[in-house]
Amino acid sequence: MSGTEFTKQKLWGGRFTGKTDPLMHEYNQSLSYDRRMWAQDIRGSQAYARALVGCKILTPDERDQIIAGLDAVGKEWKEDKFVIAEDDEDIHTANERRLKELIGPVAGKLHTGRSRNDQVATDMRLWMMDVVHGIETSLRGLLDVMIKRAESEVDHLMPGYTHLQRAQPIRWSHFLLSHATYFSQDLLRLRDLIPRISVLPLGSGPLAGNPFAGLDRDTIAKDLGFHSVGTNSMHSVSDRDFVAEFLMWASLAMVHMSKMAEDLIIYSSSEFGFVQLSDAYSTGSSIMPQKKNPDSLELLRGKSGRVFGQMSGFMMTLKGIPSTYNKDLQEDKEPLFDAVETVDRSLKIATGVLSTMTIFPQKMRAALTPDMLATDLAEYLVRKGIPFRETHHISGSAVRISEERKCQLTDLTLADLQGLSDKFEQDVMQVWSFDESVERRDAVGGTSRRAVLEQCERLQKVVA
């Protein structure tokens, strides 16, 4: 093939006579990964063909030929029969090349007034609009499992931890809903992203706008399901804030995933024994037959770093680009595609883990120790009119006495306690109840049974 023949097959080849270095062609191409946007590229092109009739660029018959031809191209992709040519650089050139093969020269009219700059931005936004709804569905599925478990297992108590030290008794459901609350906020943030993703770039041309009278961008937006139309053509072709914002969202969501995974890894250890993963989400050791490893949770924890890396890498690409489209922006796709796939799979794996996980309430309750009621002892005196700072000191003294005697806090007698404060009466012995302790924490957001079930109701409304 001569150099002229080679370049003539490229959309941009008219002013070039030299042959493209094969390595440069490979380095420049994006079809190996942007082919996943084939359906969005076809939808965008069909909408643009309809709009070109209003500009008198296409006749209704030519429009119908192009739309039918693009349907045929889409069918080839769908049936995995699309044959990629050597010189296809990206999904846009591949589809246009195939369209011309199918319907002839009229295909050349489709690109009138359109640039790959506004075309690729449109395709990416369409693709993201599709996948964000899928991720929302996966996230809602995870939350649904967490809420249902919390409702059905609301009566089980366990230690609550700060600094990984036993702190106060809580309900297992309260712990579970603490993570569900993070994910519910992720769901709200994801929904908030959609209007900023759903902005139409098509009709912006390469940077200065479309020159043909009669192009109705509002109709194109409505045709493709966009919420709004980009109001500055230079901004529209280069804006990838929606990619950066999604990657930031994904990074935070995966941090929340990692935090939950870490807790469950700890609780699944032999030292705790609060939970056990099903075999479907565990692996064994190649040398130690007794091992059952929480690999699913460890991968969820590890992949949070992967997603954050995609975000930080893309931000470094984005920060130094001058106005309008530059080829650097081709680097938006691989981190985005990888993050989308990683987050969606992670949500599905987490849903599987939580829906099949076994809990051991008896071990959770056995881990409760009387010293965890020291705050309740201080609060008893608060109800007797003593300022909390004093009651904290008194309760601390009671803990010190029990440690010196090597006994439990509950082993102290009424006389022992009255030696610390004359406000202690016989009813102080009612403080030594884990069930009563959690029930006293009945304010909104607390760990009482009523408060926890109220949290379930609130989260169900967010999911719905």
Residue 163 is among the residues annotated as catalytic for this protein: yes
- Rounded CA-CA distance 130/225 in Å is 11
Q: Pick the catalytic residue: 32, 269, 278, 285?
A: 285
Q: Are 271 and 207 in contact (CB under 8 A)?
A: no
3-state SS track over the chain: CCHHHHHHCCCCHHHCCCCCCHHHHHHHCCHHHHHHHHHHHHHHHHHHHHHHHHCCCCCHHHHHHHHHHHHHHHHHHHCCCCCCCCCCCCHHHHHHHHHHHHHCHHHHHCCCCCCHHHHHHHHHHHHHHHHHHHHHHHHHHHHHHHHHHHHHCCCCEEEEEECCEEEEEEEHHHHHHHHHHHHHHHHHHHHHHHHHHCEECCCCCCCCCCCCCCCCHHHHHHHHCCCEECCCHHHHHHCCHHHHHHHHHHHHHHHHHHHHHHHHHHHHCCCCCCEECCHHHCECCCCCCCCCECHHHHHHHHHHHHHHHHHHHHHHHHHCCCCCCCHHHHHHHHHHHHHHHHHHHHHHHHHHHHHHCEECHHHHHHCCCHHHHHHHHHHHHHCCCCCHHHHHHHHHHHHHHHHHHCCCHHHCCHHHHHCCCCCCCHHHHHHCCHHHHHHHCCCCCCCCHHHHHHHHHHHHHHHC
Decide: 207 and 325 in contact? Cβ < 8 Å: yes
- Active-site hit among 2, 163, 270, 286: 163
Structure tokens at 234: 């230079």
- Rounded CA separation 287/154 (Å): 39
Which positions ≥6 away from 354 have C-beta within 8 Å?
Answer: 142, 145, 146, 149
How far is CA 93 from each of CA 1, 96, 128, rounded to the nearest angstrom?
19, 5, 21
Amino acid sitting at position 387 = P
Report yes or no: 6 and 12 within 8 Å, Cβ to Cβ: no
Catalytic residue status for 285:
yes
Q: How many CB atoms lie within 10 A of CB 16?
A: 14
Catalytic residues, which ones?
163, 285
